Amino acid sequence: MAQETVFSKIVSGEIPVEKLAETERVLAFPDMNPQAKVHILVIPKTSEYENVTELAAGDASLLSEIVATAKELADKYADGDYRLIFNNGANAGQTVFHVHAHVLAGDLGESSLVG
Ligand code: AMP
């Protein structure tokens, strides 16, 4: 089990967020430091996986559910097109070690690839 992070506190409700999508296994909420017009984080509720490499190996269907949720959010909040970013490892910009997808959409232009 990965260490407790800010995202496990969001899942438990200890830190309140605006829930933009929720299923039994997945939660989506706005990134507090948006890098695009639409910048949403999609996370699994479990804190078992630190990054997408572990998630893909451990539960591919949960990764699929995260991607499907990203598409639903891009349809709802933008034109359906979206950029999906997983930062994997501190040297790649990962700061929260509970796997999460950055969904960027809407007037992306030259927006940063880093969440
Ligand atoms: P990463 O750098 O890929 O690990 O992304 C972590 C992201 O989590 C950053 O874009 C932060 O802005 C975002 N973040 C951290 N804490 C919160 C929070 N309490 N609510 C919303 N977004 C957060």
| Superfamily of domain covering 6-105 | HIT-like (3.30.428.10)
Single out the residue of 82, 71, 75 nearest to residue 107, CA to CA.
82
Task: State the pLDDT at residue 115.
Answer: 46
Active site (catalytic) residues: 100
For ligand 1, atom 18, the nearest C-alpha belongs to 32
Ligand 1 mean position, distance from CA 32 (Å):
6
Report the residue among 11, 53, 96 best suited for mutation to probe ligand 1: largest number of ligand atoms under 8 A from its CB: 96
DSSP state of 15: S
What residue segments make up the domains of the chain, in order of their start?
6-105
Q: What angle do CA 96, 63, 90 make, to 5 degrees?
A: 25
Does 92 contact ligand 1 (Cβ within 6 A)?
no
Using pLDDT thresholds of 50, 70 and 90, give the confidence band for residue 2: low
DSSP 54-94: HHHHH-HHHHHHHHHHHHHHHHHHSSS--EEE---SGGGT-
The pLDDT tens digits for 25-83 are 999 999 999 999 999 999 999 999 999 999 999 999 999 999 999 999 999 999 999 99
